[in-house]
């Protein structure tokens, strides 16, 4: 007999694609005017994408810490 620790819902919640509400998208992924200006100064798409992803990941962490 196999031990079943997580059900389908739990597995999907932990490992599935995140589901953000509109408010959560705005909070975590919208750029401030300062961030938008900084991105516009970058010359190519790759650094813009990397910077945007870095900011999007760090925003919730910064809000949580303070």
Q: Are 28 and 20 in contact (CB under 8 A)?
A: yes
Residue with tokens 């995140």: 18
- Indicate the burial class of 35 (C-beta count within 10 angstroms; 0-12, 13-18, 19 or more): middle
The pTM for the full model equals 0.44
pLDDT in tens, 15-66: 888 888 888 888 777 777 887 787 778 777 777 777 777 766 666 554 544 4
Q: Residue 54: how many CB atoms within 10 A of its CB?
A: 10
């Amino acid at each position: 007999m196999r031990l079943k620790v997580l059900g389908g819902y739990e597995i999907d919640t932990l490992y599935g694609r995140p589901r953000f509400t509109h408010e959560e998208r705005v909070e975590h992924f919208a750029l401030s005017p300062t961030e938008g200006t900084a991105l516009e100064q970058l010359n190519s798409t790759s650094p813009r994408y990397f910077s945007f992803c870095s900011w999007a990941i760090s925003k919730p962490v910064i809000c949580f810490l303070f």
